[in-house]
Amino acid sequence: MTPIIRVENLSKCYRIGSRPAHNSLRDMVAELIRSPFHRLRGGNRSADETIWALKDINFEVMPGEVVGIIGRNGAGKSTLLKILSRITRPTKGRFSLNGRVGSLLEVGTGFHSELTGRENVFLNGAILGMSRKEIGSKFDEIVAFAETEKFLDTPVKHYSSGMTVRLAFAVAAHLEPEILIVDEVLAVGDALFQKKCLGKMSEISEAGRTVLFVSHDISAVNAFCERAILLHEGSIAMSGPTREVAAYYLDHANKLYSPITWIKFPEGKSKEIELTAVTIAQRGAQTNIIDCREPFTVTIEYENKKAVRNSRFFLLVRNEKGEPLFTSSDYDLLSDVAIDRRPGKFVSTISLPGGLFKTGSYYGTVGADIKYERIIFAENDIFHFDVFESGDDTHAVRHTRVGIIAPLLPWHTTAKKSQNS
């Protein structure tokens, strides 16, 4: 069987600080205005300042395959999809696509902001090579899926990001491309719409079409994709069955990447306390990829430059929306060390239970204060971790329920004895 996607030695290099070629008179005028100031700031960068977003990528995808592409931010996932969608040209290498491609990469990609939703549906269909009659036959289905009937004749520039994603996905999925390319944009939609989209992508794959799916949601990739490609710093670190690749990614995240294991504050930030390290660990290994069903720890290392009586260390955890989940302090359960706070080097370990967090990304703030007096220091979002759902229950309903956390709480139920017995 002939591969529907073939990628050979694909590489993409970007020049740091470079500007794209002028596309319009407006761009030229803007550059003329900008250039004198750019030169005054020493804006001429060396041609050697480059970064390789992709390096010698090789893989094939067969018709009907559903392939997940995973990796940390900056691994090259979006660059790869932009090249395959013919939005960006590769620096080296080549690729072939043996079928019509529908892409959903960024909010509004392929939409003209001044055109209405209705006009954009027909525009996107025309770009895919469909006749007006073909598009018309799918139009009602697209609108029903996107749930944007009331706004069809409103220019897309007035849509919210969620509305734009709903319509863009509906167009990409319903105009019958042989290859559907979907980036992380589904994260913009609500939980019900995400579930709806995953269901539609399953229908597409069952119909024999091919799907490339990029997501940070390891649970979704595990549930939806039969094969996965792990990108690391622009190269393929591993490719194979999804569960094997996902397990490798989760087990080796602390080796593939450099989790925040020590962050020195700028000199003079605090003359009293110096934070020297923040580490996250689960199953005895440092990592920032957390299985939500198991406990894990956050360890803080610091040095007291001098005695700071009545000082309290605190930990604040927020979700990716910036909503605070909880704050914990070493003054909640007092110890002699916390009371004394003498000079020296110390290590504090906070144990977090399993069965508490929803899947997603979380950020931690570490600081110290003196009650009712002053903040000694506070460093926002000094560490980060991603939470996934392990096992076969990758789409556990509790992650979509109302609420910031998804606790696994024991329920004890017994049959109530009747009064007559």
- Listed in sequence order, the residues at least 6 apart from 49 whose beta carbon sits closer than 8 Å to its beta carbon are 15, 16, 17
* pLDDT-derived band at 25, boundaries 50, 70, 90: very low
Domain CATH code at residue 219: 3.40.50.300
- Listed in sequence order, the residues at least 6 apart from 96 whose beta carbon sits closer than 8 Å to its beta carbon are 5, 6
Statement to judge: residues 162 and 99 lie in one domain? yes
Statement to judge: residues 124 and 68 lie in one domain? yes
Domain CATH code at residue 361: 2.70.50.60
Statement to judge: residues 230 and 284 lie in one domain? no
Q: Domain for residue 392, yes or no?
A: yes
Q: Mean pLDDT over residues 387-402, rounded?
A: 73
Statement to judge: residues 163 and 95 lie in one domain? yes
* pLDDT-derived band at 127, boundaries 50, 70, 90: confident
Has this prediction a pTM greater than 0.85? no
Cβ contact 267:321 at 8 Å: no
Reported in sequence order, the residue ranges of 169-234 that DSSP labels E, i.e. its strands, are: 179-182, 210-214, 227-232
* pLDDT-derived band at 252, boundaries 50, 70, 90: low
pLDDT, tens only, 165-223? 788 888 877 877 888 888 866 655 566 777 777 788 888 888 888 999 888 777 778 87
Q: If you average pLDDT over each of 171-175, 322-326, 403-407, which comes out highest?
A: 403-407
Q: Domain for residue 267, yes or no?
A: no
Domain that holds residue 296: 273-400
Edge-to-edge strand ranges of the sheet holding 5-15: 50-61, 5-15, 92-97
Q: Domain for residue 396, yes or no?
A: yes
Cβ contact 368:376 at 8 Å: yes
DSSP string, 247-280: HHHHHHHHHHS--S---PPPTTS-SSEEEEEEEE
Q: Mean pLDDT over residues 29-43, rounded?
A: 45
pLDDT, tens only, 70-109? 987 778 998 999 899 888 899 999 999 998 887 777 655 6
Q: What is the percent of the chain with per-residue pLDDT over 70, rounded to a whole number?
A: 81
Cβ contact 368:303 at 8 Å: no
Q: Domain for residue 215, yes or no?
A: yes
Q: What is the pLDDT of residue 96?
A: 93
* pLDDT-derived band at 43, boundaries 50, 70, 90: very low
Comparing 279-288, 309-318, 372-381, the range with the smallest average pLDDT is 372-381
Number of domains in the chain: 2
Q: If you average pLDDT over each of 34-38, 45-49, 363-367, 390-394, which comes out highest?
A: 363-367
* pLDDT-derived band at 18, boundaries 50, 70, 90: low
Statement to judge: residues 187 and 325 lie in one domain? no
Statement to judge: residues 101 and 149 lie in one domain? yes
Rg (CA), the chain: 26
Q: What is the pLDDT of residue 186?
A: 61
* pLDDT-derived band at 112, boundaries 50, 70, 90: confident
pLDDT of 224 above 90: no
Q: Domain for residue 36, yes or no?
A: no
Q: What is the pLDDT of residue 189?
A: 57
Q: What is the pLDDT of residue 239?
A: 94
Q: Domain for residue 227, yes or no?
A: yes
Q: Domain for residue 371, yes or no?
A: yes
Q: What is the pLDDT of residue 89?
A: 92
Q: What is the pLDDT of residue 191?
A: 64
Residue keyed to tokens 């597409």: 204
